[in-house]
Chains A and B, each alone.
Chain A
Amino acid sequence: MALLDVERIKLFSTRAPWWCMVLAAALTVGFTVLLVANAGTTFPLAVSTTQFAYNFGLMVVMVMAALAITTEYRFGTIKSTFQAVPNRTAVLVSKTVVVALLAGVVGEIIAFACWGVARLMKPDADLAIRTASDWRNVAGVGPVYFGGAILALGVGMLIRQTAGAVSIILVWSLLAESLVGLVPTIGVKIQAWLPFNVAGHFVNGDEPATGGVQGRGAGIDFAMSPWVSLLYFMGVAVALLVIGIVVVNKRDA
């Protein structure tokens, strides 16, 4: 418990996480406002449409998570940390719990904020959350942010440098997983197994195309059900985290 407290103090006694949280919310809600404002007959509003922009916040939250570990290397505080607590696994697990939980809570707040804003803007649209799929659409954003933060922490532990870690995370999630689809025939098959696509499948379910907008994962034939998709995404994230922790234990601080 003491270690969770330590990581909480560390996280909130610098400004970066606050900025990241504000930016994540502003980007996601802002984009949703644009989208909802343009909704009309050609592009009907649905619960899933209100979550279309969740990726913006996800990117920022993953950057925040990566920063939580890379700045410790950048400023040498990781050495003070391991000096105070030689059990590196305990330190890194505590950091992951604090950062990932924060990411998850931020994800839920952003998701319901986006949905709420859409309802306020279009009171006539049918935006009630009724089905299990509706719930997954909105409340599913939190778990994805949670997993994304874990994955980003793992990358940060392996790369250590902010620029490198952030580049990898952004290129991977924004570019690489989409570009694989360009490879003829097998590209789309591979895409169905790439973690961020799979996470999108969890949120969007089997109807990734929301109205006139092409949602993430449109055209991909996913093999897993939405809930297994979430497990798969979490599995990849935790695997990276475990590799990160093993490597940090092996290497010099």
Chain B
Amino acid sequence: MIEAVQLTKRYGQTLAVDNLSFTVQPGRVTGFLGPNGAGKSTTMRMILGLDNPTAGSVRIDGRTYRELDRPLRTVGALMDAKWLHPNRSAYSHLLWLARSNRLPARRVNEVLDLVGLTAVAKRRAGGFSLGMSQRLGIAAALLGDPGVLLFDEPVNGLDPEGIVWIRRFMQSLAAEGRTVLVSSHLLSEMALTAEDLVVIGRGRLISQGSAAEFIERSSTSTVFVRSPQLAKLEAALVDKGFPVVTEGEGLQVSGARTEVIGDVAAAIGAVVHELSPQRGSLEQAFMRLTEDSVEYHTGLGDAVVPEGK
């Protein structure tokens, strides 16, 4: 379990992380979501003891990172796939990491096998493609068979095959009972990967809880309804207090579920030809939520995304 308490990090004038408290539970993938510059990487570096918090603390199973003995056995992390010496072979890279935590050299071969890099183990890591570097980073994270895993934007720049591989991999790690925290700036990606979400913007906590709930809550749902007695139905719905907008041959009703609209129609004896829930895109919902907390505004505002399904 990871527990951050009032974590704060200031770089000169920039408040990168602002009084952030959250917990990450074992046995499930937790998404760490926020727009660019929200402070995700900074928070993860503080979890790993690389950056010192300006205030607050973060603990792993009750201990700070620096208190961990041979920490690779407790926490594995993939922060940046390019954190390796380009002229060192994948094998040597993993070997020195293993030695540092007194893990057997046999483990190096095991994790290389696990991520499918055995054939290129002796090649210099600088020549690896991004996907291969990413796999090597994951191998390094898994060296000590840790119970807690951190991944910072692991799918960035990967092709669809690589994305699916990493997604499955993280889910299988969580299924084994490990604590998995994975950061991303894409809600749509997290919707497919994570069960829990910690959402931040400008270093501050926006929301923490189940991913499904967050998506449900944050995406405005409307219901599209068509009926031969449209005017009558519209009046009845407005009467019930639901905002209604005419669209083509039907109505867009906000804030009501399909059941409610069906009941209203039945009550006034209106025939219904279509009753379909519409969902705004996840990205729109996410942008709306983090609007005030995005560091770099494009100035394009909401005009860019056409209303979609």
Q: Which of B66, B79, B96 contacts A79 (CB 8 A)?
A: B79
Total residues of chain B contacting the partner, CB 8 A? 32
Q: Could you tell me if A252 and B95 are in contact, using CB atoms closer than 8 angstroms? A: no
Please give, as numbers and ranges, the residues of chain A lying within 8 Å of B123 by CB-CB distance: none
Q: Could you tell me if B99 and A5 are in contact, using CB atoms closer than 8 angstroms? A: yes
Q: Could you tell me if B95 and A9 are in contact, using CB atoms closer than 8 angstroms? A: yes
A6 to B84, CA, bound (A): 14
The A interface is mostly helix, strand or loop, or mixed, namely: helix
Please give, as numbers and ranges, the residues of chain B lying within 8 Å of A81 by CB-CB distance: 100
Q: Could you tell me if B100 and A86 are in contact, using CB atoms closer than 8 angstroms? A: no
User: Which residue among B83, B87, B93, B100 has the maximum number of chain A CB atoms within 10 Å of its CB?
Assistant: B100
Given contacts A86-B65, A252-B50, A253-B51, contact A76 B100 (CB under 8 A): no
Query: Separation in Å of the A95 CB from the closest CB of chain B?
Result: 12
User: Which residue among A5, A83, A252 has the maximum number of chain B CB atoms within 10 Å of its CB?
Assistant: A83
Q: Could you tell me if A79 and B87 are in contact, using CB atoms closer than 8 angstroms? A: no
Q: Could you tell me if B99 and A83 are in contact, using CB atoms closer than 8 angstroms? A: no
Please give, as numbers and ranges, the residues of chain A lying within 8 Å of B45 by CB-CB distance: 79, 252-253
Query: Separation in Å of the A89 CB from the closest CB of chain B?
Result: 12
Q: Could you tell me if A6 and B82 are in contact, using CB atoms closer than 8 angstroms? A: no
* A window 65-107: CB within 8 A of B: 71, 75-77, 79-87
Q: Could you tell me if B65 and A6 are in contact, using CB atoms closer than 8 angstroms? A: no
Binary contact track A105-136/B, C-beta < 8 Å → 1, others 0: 00000000000000000000000000000000
B168 within 8 A of A: no
Given contacts A6-B96, A6-B100, A85-B100, contact A252 B86 (CB under 8 A): no
- Count CB-based A-B contacts (< 8 Å): 79
B61 within 8 A of A: no
B232 within 8 A of A: no
Please give, as numbers and ranges, the residues of chain B lying within 8 Å of A6 by CB-CB distance: 96, 99-100
A64 to B100, CA, bound (A): 23
B140 within 8 A of A: yes
Given contacts A13-B88, A84-B72, A252-B45, contact A79 B83 (CB under 8 A): yes
Q: Could you tell me if A75 and B86 are in contact, using CB atoms closer than 8 angstroms? A: yes
A84 to B100, CA, bound (A): 7
Q: Could you tell me if B84 and A77 are in contact, using CB atoms closer than 8 angstroms? A: yes
The 9 A-B pairs at the shortest CB distance, nearest first, are namely A76-B83, A13-B92, A253-B50, A252-B51, A84-B100, A9-B96, A86-B66, A6-B100, A13-B88
The 21 sampled A-B contact pairs (Cβ below 8 Å) are: A3-B100, A6-B100, A10-B85, A13-B89, A13-B92, A13-B96, A16-B87, A75-B82, A75-B85, A76-B83, A77-B83, A77-B85, A80-B83, A80-B84, A80-B140, A82-B49, A83-B50, A83-B71, A84-B72, A86-B65, A87-B66
List the interface of chain A (C-beta within 8 A of B).
Answer: 2-3, 5-6, 9-10, 13-16, 71, 75-77, 79-87, 252-253
